[in-house]
Amino acid sequence: MKHWGKALILAATMLATNAHAEIRFGIVNEAYPPYTTKDASGKSVGWEIDLMDAVCEELKEKCTIVDVAWDGLIPALESNKIDVIWSSMSITDERKKRIDFTDKYYSSLASIVGPKDGVLGVDPEQLKGKTVGIAVSTTQSAYFKKHFADIATEKSYATVDEAYQDLSAGRIDYSFSDTGPLKEFLKTDLGKECCEFKGTVPADDAVLGAGVGGGIRKGDDELREKLNGAIKAIRANGKYAEFNKKYFDYDPY
Amino acid sequence: MDFSWIIPYRELLLNGALLTCMLLVISVVLGFAIAIFLAIAQVGNNPVLRVAAKSYCTFFRGTPLLIQLWLIYYGLGSYLPYIPGLKGSFLWPLMREGLFFAAVALTLNFAAYQGEILRGTLLAVPKGELEAALAVGMRPSMVLRRIWLPRAIRIGLPTFAGEVILQLKATPIVFSVTVMDLYGAAYKIRQDTLLVYEPLILVAAFYVALTFLITQVFQRLENAVPARR
């Protein structure tokens, strides 16, 4: 009986110390290049993974990646399967009701791509009567509702990749998404052949969100402060700029 | 449990439910019509038709519905714009929609299963009845129309009910080709409101209710035409 008690206490202390021995980063399962994607061996790579490595190096913490589907990220965080959402999640008021956020680590600019017809620009006038493919329930979708809902039709996609497919097949007229992934799409064979960059829409922080940050469980202030400090540090010491060079010719912060 | 989202999303939900019902009705009615030809071809004497019908059923029963849908939508569908004249025609607004491809895929799939079942029930009709029909002077086409096919359909009725229910539950995959059916609506609500279970519970209840309705309809059909052994 005594031994059992000891074993239990030992197990409990091990669990307690283990809880913060590593930070579990929830990375979205669906490819979202160049931020997160999987290489041929199934390993997660991309801009956000490099950012995570830089942050963890700064914190001298051990970090592990947990793959989670996009719609499972917040439930996974709440049920303590991950410690931070690190998957291009924009900081919005709606989400803030459920979770906390770190400071932003990049700003999400929204842009439009369309078929190669030489007509550039993103004026509402040009979108009149057109069908625009948008990933469901994204900040771009909220932006569209506010600025374009009366003049154009929104078509919802589970992932933005499917919208690209339909754009190249001529089923939709435009695709509206985050600038980074759109430019990445235009570098692919499919994108090069069919489409061109039309332009970036004017900023609207109310719907596009105050940038992208790490999602933190409500009340986990210790981790949030730690990550905020690390983000600030790598911005200052040049590490952010260093890995960013590999992906973008601009500073997305 | 939070169901306050039902009011703001009622239009989306209602449209989704209508789309689900529409896809079910279209695919079951058209699929059944195709199935009759498939079944007759399989029990008939023409070897070319028999092999063709058999291959069709084997292919569509042997591949996942999701793959069929994507082959049709992303494969076939992406070549449609290259058919001269189609893109500008009055058909294009229909043929650029995922709904069209979803209806086609569900219909073709349902036809294959139904064709196979109907083949079995055609063979299950007692030979004596057909011989009796011929003996009273009916032509073979009339035997098929008046005796063989109606008897086969009646024998298969309990199985058809099950097939229609399975078909209902196959419809949510159409969301993967941008059709905002009931599941699509639930998906969007889940993403918008960050609620995990409530939207799923609501649509699950809807599917159960619809299944109950289908069982009732078939029960009535079965009672209206009593089977005599």
Give B146-201 as a 3 state SS string: HHHHHHHHHHHHHHHHHHHHHHHHHHHHHHHHCCCCHHHHHHHHHHHHCCCCHHHH
Residues of chain A contacting B194 with CB distance shorter than 8 Å? 74, 94-95, 97-98
Q: Same domain, yes or no, for A116 and A170?
A: yes
Instruction: Reply yes or no on whether the pLDDT at A236 is more than 90.
Output: yes
Inside any domain, residue A188: yes
State the pLDDT at residue B32. Answer: 97
Mean pLDDT of chain A: 87
Q: Same domain, yes or no, for A70 and A147?
A: no
Beta-carbon separation of B178 and A71 below 8 A: no
Residues of chain A contacting B190 with CB distance shorter than 8 Å? 71
Inside any domain, residue A42: yes
Strands (E), A107-186: 110-115, 131-135, 153-157, 174-178
Inside any domain, residue A192: yes
Inside any domain, residue A89: yes
For B131-145, give one letter per residue: b (16+ CB within 10 A) or e. Answer: eebeeeebeeeebbe
Q: Same domain, yes or no, for A43 and A92?
A: yes
CA distance A239 to chain B (A): 34
State the pLDDT at residue A204. Answer: 85
Residues of chain A contacting B184 with CB distance shorter than 8 Å? 156
Q: Same domain, yes or no, for A118 and A194?
A: yes
Q: Which helix (H) or strand (E) holds A56?
A: helix A47-59
Q: Which residue of A has its CA nearest to B178?
A: A157
CATH number, domain B4-224: 1.10.3720.10
Q: Same domain, yes or no, for A103 and A218?
A: yes
Inside any domain, residue A196: yes
Inside any domain, residue A7: no
Confidence label for A8 from pLDDT (cuts 50, 70 and 90): low
Instruction: Reply yes or no on whether the pLDDT at A1 is more than 80.
Output: no
* A216, A84 contact by CB (below 8 A): yes
Instruction: Reply yes or no on whether the pLDDT at A70 is more than 60.
Output: yes
All structural domains of chain B with their residue ranges: 4-224
State the pLDDT at residue A17. Answer: 46
Q: What's the one-letter identity of residue B42?
A: Q
Q: Which residue of B has its CA nearest to A73?
A: B194
State phi, psi for A80 to the nearest 5 degrees: 65, 30
Q: Same domain, yes or no, for A91 and A215?
A: yes
What is the greatest pairwise CA distance in chain A? 80
Q: Which residue of A has its CA nearest to B77?
A: A169
Mean pLDDT of all residues in A156-172: 88
Q: Is the dihedral of CA B54, B55, B60, B61 positive or negative?
A: positive
Q: Same domain, yes or no, for A87 and A148?
A: no
Q: Same domain, yes or no, for A134 and A195?
A: yes
The segments of chain B whose pLDDT lies below 50 read none
Better pLDDT: B1 or A177: A177
CA distance B12 to chain A (A): 12
Domain, as residue range, for A186 = 110-207
- Interface residue of B194, B198, B200 to substitute, partner A, most A CBs within 10 Å: B194
Three-point CA angle A247, A155, B11, nearest 5° = 135
B184 touches chain A (CB under 8 A): yes
Q: What's the one-letter identity of residue A126?
A: Q
Instruction: Reply yes or no on whether the pLDDT at A146 is more than 60.
Output: yes
Q: Same domain, yes or no, for A92 and A143?
A: no
Q: What does the pLDDT look like over A181-223, one tens digit per residue?
A: 898 899 999 888 889 999 999 888 888 878 899 999 999 999 9
Q: Same domain, yes or no, for A115 and A92?
A: no
For B191-208, give one letter per residue: b (16+ CB within 10 A) or e. Answer: bbbbbeebbeebbeebbe
The CATH number covering residue A101 comes to 3.40.190.10
Q: Same domain, yes or no, for A33 and A70?
A: yes
Size (chain A), residues: 253
Instruction: Reply yes or no on whether the pLDDT at A18 is more than 50.
Output: no
Three-class SS state of A197: strand
Q: Count the domains in chain A.
A: 2
State the pLDDT at residue A5. Answer: 60
Q: Same domain, yes or no, for A138 and A57?
A: no
Inside any domain, residue A165: yes
Confidence label for A54 from pLDDT (cuts 50, 70 and 90): very high
CA dihedral of A95, A98, A102, A108, whole degrees rounded to 10: -10
